[in-house]
Amino acid sequence: MTQALSPAHPVPLAPQWLDMALAVLLLAWTAEALARFPTGSALTALVYGAFCLRFCIDPGALAGLVRRCPALVPFPLVCLCSTLWSEAPGVTLTAALQLCFTCVAGAWIGHRLGLEGLARALLLALSATLVASTLNLGGWLGLSHAPGGGFLGIYAQKNALGQRALLVLLAGLLVVLTARDWRGRVVAMACVMLAVAMIAASRSATSLVMAAAMGGLMLWWLVAGRGGTLRAMALVTAGAAALGGLTLVWQLGADPVATLLQALGKNATMTGRTLLWEVALDRISDRPLLGHGYMAYWSAPRFAQETWILTRLYGETVAVFHNFALEILVGLGPAGLAAMGILLWRTLSGLWRLDPGPVRVWALVLLLTLLVLSALGSSLHRPHEITMVLIAALLAAARPVQRTSVAYS
């Protein structure tokens, strides 16, 4: 087993606090907490400029990062190549270059901070957005609640608030378990409580279910991994709960899927997702081998009428198929999906080989959380998205630590 709990850079050329600050900035920016405020362009320029200056401090960093994380290369490369056959070449080229930056920046913070540092940066960055969201309870910072109900905070969508709070919940649980002093545990526990409150206030069905499932999985995994009586109790409890649930469903003669959707306020189309998936399958059949170009479908003149109808049906913000695999197949075909598979597999295998412990459990649960959320969304393949940043960071952080006598300042 390998260990990746500390930064893996053998000879640091800049203080670690600088990379932590960059990580917090990057995560807060890609969380889209300020998406509805007129600061987008300035913040984007700040992030790009800050990372460019950082790489100037360590000129060989980029080449070294690629050598250490070769699995990071195929997907952005396929996206860049798709410019050649894209139905919207300008959009594809721009998005592909943005994706390259997103992957490199994410891998850099993972490489420099390690998994524990990544968790703390994630907790700090997203907790700040949750605190800012509480300031909007009275609508002082603009629209505070979605038209259909649910608290928005400073986010543009209630699902965004709920999912960011979910990430805070998982990172907070890790810090509570690994903090070296009681003050760190108290702060982390306060962040966990705030995250739970924001998930409940958002009324995001996906976030509510995922918080219960992934938070429970993380705690159960940690308990079961301790062995002995605790492990036996966890296994018996989980088995009894599963058997009891199946028995209840059989006795009531209920449709568990329909019952769950009804309880969450969803319909059989999962709020229109299945209809969008049907459109995606039609577009895949048009060009099954190469796709229409990375991120090109929603901007291509050929599909302007179709996308106009979709936005009228599901809202102006709908510009995704709400499934990352379908989105990749529409834009890139099987080659794109294979490249993404390489990235995910290498990330999973790297994390799986780490030494057992809370950090490894958190990283694996985080990876599973991102995959499940992306199966109902499309953030996994998009540039300037926190999901892509975290996947790249997990890949880079799941590397053997290069021991060195040089101390970080």
Average pLDDT (291-296) is 91
pLDDT at 278: 84
Look at residue 242 and tell me if it is in a domain: no
pLDDT at 359: 93
pLDDT: which is higher, 48 or 381: 48
Query: Is pLDDT at 82 greater than 70 in this prediction?
Result: yes
Q: Which of 90, 87, 133, 106 is nearest to 47 (CA)?
A: 106
Q: Which two tokens stand for residue 354?
A: 């780490």
For the ranges 119-128, 168-177, 308-317, the lowest mean pLDDT is seen at 308-317
Query: Is pLDDT at 13 greater than 80 in this prediction?
Result: no
Query: Which range is most confident: 8-17, 45-54, 217-226, 252-261?
Result: 45-54
Average pLDDT (317-326) is 77
Look at residue 403 and tell me if it is in a domain: no
pLDDT digits (tens, 9 = 90+) for 366-402: 999 999 998 877 778 889 999 999 999 999 998 654 4
Counting the structural domains of the chain, the total is 1
Q: Which two tokens stand for residue 62?
A: 């980029």
Query: Is pLDDT at 227 greater than 80 in this prediction?
Result: no
**Is residue 276 very low, low, confident or very high in pLDDT (cuts 50, 70, 90)?**
confident
**Is residue 117 very low, low, confident or very high in pLDDT (cuts 50, 70, 90)?**
very high
Query: Is pLDDT at 299 greater than 90 in this prediction?
Result: no
Look at residue 404 and tell me if it is in a domain: no
48 within 8 A of 40, measured Cβ to Cβ: no
Integer Cα distance of 187 and 180 in angstroms: 12
What string of DSSP letters covers 93-115? HHHHHHHHHHHHHHHHHHHHHHH
Q: Which of 388, 392, 382, 389 is nearest to 79 (CA)?
A: 382
Look at residue 193 and tell me if it is in a domain: yes
Q: Which of 397, 378, 375, 359 is nearest to 170 (CA)?
A: 359
Integer Cα distance of 398 and 351 in angstroms: 5
Which range of residues forms the domain containing residue 44? 16-225+269-397
4 within 8 A of 397, measured Cβ to Cβ: yes
Query: Is pLDDT at 251 greater than 50 in this prediction?
Result: no
pLDDT digits (tens, 9 = 90+) for 178-188: 888 888 889 99
Look at residue 264 and tell me if it is in a domain: no
CA distances (Å), 55 to each of 50, 71, 104, 185, 252, in order?
9, 21, 11, 34, 61
Integer Cα distance of 187 and 193 in angstroms: 10
Look at residue 405 and tell me if it is in a domain: no
pLDDT at 26: 95
pLDDT digits (tens, 9 = 90+) for 155-214: 888 888 999 999 999 999 999 988 888 888 899 999 999 999 999 988 888 888 888 889
Q: Which two tokens stand for residue 73?
A: 């290369």
- Residue 400: count other Cβ atoms within 10 Å of its Cβ: 13
Look at residue 408 and tell me if it is in a domain: no
For the ranges 50-54, 147-151, 382-386, the lowest mean pLDDT is seen at 147-151
Q: Reduced to 3 states, what is the DSSP secondary structure of residue 2?
A: strand
Amino acid at 339: A
Average pLDDT (57-67) is 79
Look at residue 60 and tell me if it is in a domain: yes
Average pLDDT (246-264) is 46
215 within 8 A of 165, measured Cβ to Cβ: no
